[in-house]
């Protein structure tokens, strides 16, 4: 049987909320500041929302499992 492909992890933003969708079961999510500080570290499945209002606008790095995504807000 062909191997099931994981749906692509997607990011969407609505106001000050960043939503990550299509997370594989028990995905690891870590949000870093550019200086390397860990701002958030959690596990989630399916969908996870991050409130950006807690952070100063700027550039951040979101690591989802082995994917690294740069975020600017």
Predicted model pTM: 0.85
Predicted pLDDT at 62: 97
pLDDT tens across the length of the chain (73 residues): 666 676 799 999 999 999 999 999 999 999 999 999 999 999 999 999 999 998 999 999 999 999 999 999 8
Q: DSSP states of the chain as a string? A: -PPPPPPPPEEEEETTEEEEEEEEEEEEEEEEETTS-EEEEEEEEEEEEEEGGGS-SSEEEEEETTEEEEEE-
């Amino acid at each position: 049987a062909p191997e099931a492909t994981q749906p692509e992890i997607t990011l969407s933003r609505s106001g000050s909320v960043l939503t990550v969708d299509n997370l594989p079961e028990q995905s690891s999510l870590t949000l870093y500041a550019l200086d390397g500080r860990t701002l958030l570290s959690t596990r989630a499945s399916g969908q996870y929302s991050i409130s950006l209002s807690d952070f100063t606008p700027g550039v951040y790095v979101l690591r989802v499992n082995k994917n690294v995504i740069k975020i600017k807000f």
